[in-house]
Amino acid sequence: MKEISLKINGRNYKIAIEDKWTLLYVLRDVLNLTGTKFGCGTGDCGACKVLIDGVAKNSCTILAKNVENSNIITIEGLSNGEELHPVQKAFIEAGAIQCGFCTPGMVITSVALLSNNKQPTRKEILDALDNNICRCTGYIKIIEAIELASLKMKGE
Ligand code: FES
Ligand code: FES
């Protein structure tokens, strides 16, 4: 075990890890930040996405020891106290959630997309969601939620 520091949701954590531990394992099993989901564990489903320096990445394929100097934001870090992030609100309003298992990863991907491109086209939304799998919704409502979030965030 060795001690590392991780900056997650604006808070600094000092934790003892093993070299082979993934960021996803540390988030869920060490820090109890269970909003980030474990789906495939192989980088294929996007359920484990977090923002690393503003980029949406699969935390199941990243070793915790390699993100020591990064700014990590998980789904728990998106809201402002009780106030949900506009993307989270849009997912609820658009009915883009069924079982909800994919939702944290979808929201993280959407936040990353909209922070770089405030008015994405449908094609750009589909391209951004390429690495996020949903087994329930058929994607249409998720796409509509991202379009709704885009409208909401336009005035910000
Ligand atoms: S759990 Fe990480 S991509 Fe599926
Ligand atoms: S809402 Fe169930 S997997 Fe997406």
**pTM metric for this prediction:** 0.97
- Ligand with smallest separation from the Cα of 42: 1
Q: What domains are there in the chain, each with its CATH number?
A: 2-75 (3.10.20.30), 86-154 (1.10.150.120)
Q: Which residues of the chain have pLDDT under 70?
A: 155-156
CA 90 / ligand 2 centre spacing (Å):
16
Which is the closest atom of ligand 2 to the Cα of 135?
Answer: 3
CA 154 / ligand 1 centre spacing (Å):
31
Question: Quick check: CB of 58 below 6 Å from ligand 1?
Answer: yes
CA dihedral 24, 136, 77, 29 (to 10 degrees): -30
Ligand 2 neighbours, Cβ below 6 Å, are 97-103, 134-137
CA 79 / ligand 2 centre spacing (Å):
21
Question: Hey, what are 71's tokens?
Answer: 């700014």
Are 104 and 134 in contact by the 8 Å Cβ rule? The answer is: no
